[in-house]
Amino acid sequence: MASRWSSRSTRRRRRGRLTLGRAAAIALALASLAATAAPASRAARYFETIRRNPPLLLAFLTAMPKGGDLHTHLSGSIYAESYLRWAAEDNLCVVTATMTIVGGACDAQEGRAAAAAVIQNAALSSEAIDAMSMRHWEPARNGHDHFFATFAKFGPPSTRLGQMLAEVAARAAAEHVSYLELLVTTDGGLSMQKGAAAGWSDDLPRLRDRLLAAGFADVVSASASRLDQVEARARELMRCATPQADAGCRVTLRYVWQVLRATAPETVFAQMLAGFEIASHDPRVVAVNLVQPEDAPIAVRDFALHMKMLAYLRTRYPRVPLTLHAGELTEGLVPPEALRSHIGDSVRIAGARRIGHGTAVMYEDGAIELLREMAARRVLVEIALSSSDLILGVKGDRHPLRTYLKHGVPIALTTDDAGVSRSTMTLEYRKAVEEQHLGYATLERLARNSIDYSFADADTKKRLRADLDAAFAAFEREQSARHEP
Ligand SMILES: [Zn+2]
């Protein structure tokens, strides 16, 4: 007790020695804090009372408007249970040694069990779900390889894009997410085929001409008709435009074209060209991104070449924005040299307006300078806390989320691959509170960033902003009605 009293009196003495300058600075800080917290004061006050109470925090964060999810791979966002159910519906099989869904004749004795039998068998289906996701994965084991290996196990059901859209839209609506930018490939591999046929040339303008002359309009129309078909199927499944419409019908969907970067330069370039062409013609496709592990040997070897390709294509398609997976790395995963410039090059050479993950930012040359530059250029970082933890083992204080915030770099929370990570947007917000210690005003700012930094067209963005304002106003009223009767 005595020591407590003495420490209090010490604090009092210290307070007495506050200089006028510090007092003014504190007053200013409090005023600005009050100004930022004012629009959601009741929710913010309630949040402070429950932030260390996990059950109530969960209820609060589930109901909280979260704006958009700017980084979500459609195939990785589907839970394994859905893939297995669709496999059973299509009479597909599961190779039980690897838990991979395949077509053809099933024969349990030969290790190809019928998917319908797998989902009926509790032990087998549990094993399949664990293999197809990060569920029950031992953190000390190689999460990176297990994570990326899941994508090859989904098999033919991962082409059921209509069902997949319906699943993610319905889930988004249920957790108060109003907008999704889904990473997809919608040309059925046509651009890769054309790239392989055209071959490689260092002369990028000539290579582009050669590809366009080989009929790239086919790629644009293949993608548009695939998206038409997929969106129509999703609307049908959600019973949109009927009185029984699922809330998912109200979620705005846009797409980011993904380029498989761990492939040969000619196929990477052709996919990039496809993305820029499609985004120029189809307003639903709003940006281009590079996917596959950034540490894959080809991705590391060709990183500089990929930046050069993007820099060139951006001169031809200056209106198509780029968001790039960059710095999804950590020490030991790649040689130190590969940690020094991926984020900086993505921003400075390729002109990326957003960065996916950015986990390794502090390993970059001139990291502080880079942070300042990203803040000045308003380059947003799509933070995926579960994914960084599960793939890279980077979490808590070792994650640079708060370093980005401290340097004024805009960030948003994203799920990356909610199905594989067994995550939700609500869980990402919970981790932002429990592991990153963010307060309500910051959470609200991140939700607003997810609309402000989206690549939706100006009218759509204006509508989404107005909807988010209304959602926050309603949330504020709910909180006060519920918790301050
Ligand atoms: Zn990603």
Q: What digits encode the pLDDT tens for the residues 351-382?
A: 999 999 999 999 999 999 999 999 999 999 99
Please check whether residue 14 lies inside any domain of the structure.
Answer: no
Cα of 384 vs centre of ligand 1, distance in Å, is 8
What pLDDT, on a 0 to 100 scale, did the predictor assign at position 484? Answer: 52
3-state secondary structure of 107: strand
For residue 357, the CA-to-ligand 1 centroid distance in Å is 8
26-30, 44-48, 151-155, 166-170: least confidently modelled range: 26-30
Same domain, 435 and 459: yes
pLDDT in tens, 391-432: 999 999 999 999 999 999 999 999 999 999 999 999 999 999
**pLDDT at residue 27, rounded to an integer:** 53
Q: pLDDT value at position 480?
A: 72
Q: Are residues 145 and 215 in the same domain?
A: no
**Is 70 exceeded by the pLDDT of residue 321?**
yes
Examine the fold and report which residue of 93, 125, 154 is the final residue of a domain before the chain moves on. Answer: 154
What pLDDT score was predicted for residue 139? Answer: 82
**pLDDT tens profile 203-227:** 999 999 999 999 889 999 999 999 9
Q: 161 and 150, same structural domain?
A: no
**Helix/strand/coil for 110:** helix
- Label residue 482 by pLDDT band (50, 70, 90): low
| Distance from the alpha carbon of residue 410 to the mean position of ligand 1, in angstroms | 18
Q: How far apart are CA 343 and CA 364, in angstroms?
A: 8
Same domain for 242 and 230:
yes
| Ligand 1 centroid, distance to 2 Cα (angstroms) | 54
The answer to whether position 163 is within a domain reads yes
10, part of any domain: no
| Domain-embedded: residue 468 | yes
- Ligand 1 centroid to Cα of residue 296, in Å, is 14
Residue 191 belongs to domain with CATH number: 3.20.20.140
- Contact in structure between 165 and 180 (CB atoms under 8 Å): no
pLDDT bin (cut points 50, 70, 90) of residue 56 is very high
What is the extent of the structural domain holding 408? 68-74+157-473
- Answer yes or no: do 125 and 204 share one domain: no
Count Cβ atoms within 10 A of the Cβ of residue 244 and give its class: 0-12 exposed, 13-18 middle, 19 or more buried: exposed
Does residue 478 lie within any of the structural domains?
A: no
Q: Please give the pLDDT value at position 17.
A: 42
Q: Are residues 138 and 266 in the same domain?
A: no
Centre of ligand 1 to C-alpha 120, Å, is 32
Same domain, 289 and 410: yes
**Does one domain contain both 135 and 183?**
no
pLDDT at 41: 73
Predicted pLDDT at 6? 34
When pLDDT is averaged across residues 73-79 and rounded to a whole number, the result is 98
Query: Do 337 and 198 belong together in one domain?
Result: yes
**pLDDT score of 460 more than 70:** yes
Q: How many CB atoms lie within 10 A of CB 20?
A: 7
Q: What is the pLDDT averaged over residues 343-358?
A: 98
Does any domain span residue 412? yes
Given a cut of 60, whether residue 320 has pLDDT beyond it is yes
Question: Residue 428 Cα, ligand 1 centroid: separation in angstroms?
Answer: 14
As a whole number, mean pLDDT of residues 101-123 equals 97
Same-domain status, 362 and 347: yes
Q: 1-10, 260-269, 290-299: which range is least confident on average?
A: 1-10
Residues 6 or more apart in contact with residue 325 via CB below 8 angstroms: 289, 290, 291, 294, 355, 356, 357
Number of domains in the chain: 2
Checking if the pLDDT of 102 tops 70, the result is: yes
Looking at the structure, do residues 162 and 96 belong to the same domain, yes or no?
Answer: no
- CA–centroid distance, residue 391 to ligand 1 (Å): 11
Nearest CA-CA partner of 311 in 355, 286, 346, 271: 346
Domain contains 465: yes
Q: Which of 154, 185, 219 is the last residue of a domain?
A: 154
pLDDT (tens digit per residue) in 249-286: 999 999 999 999 999 999 999 999 999 999 999 999 99
Distance 174 CA to ligand 1 centre (A): 22
Neighbour count for residue 154 (Cβ, 10 Å): 25
The dihedral formed by the CA atoms of 278, 281, 282 and 287, expressed in degrees to the nearest 10: 50
Same domain, 357 and 417: yes
Given 154, 182, 214, the domain boundary residue is 154
| Cα(418) to centroid(ligand 1), Å | 10
Residue 277 lies in a domain: yes
Residue 18 has pLDDT above 50, yes or no: no
CA atoms within 13 A on the CB side of 393: 14
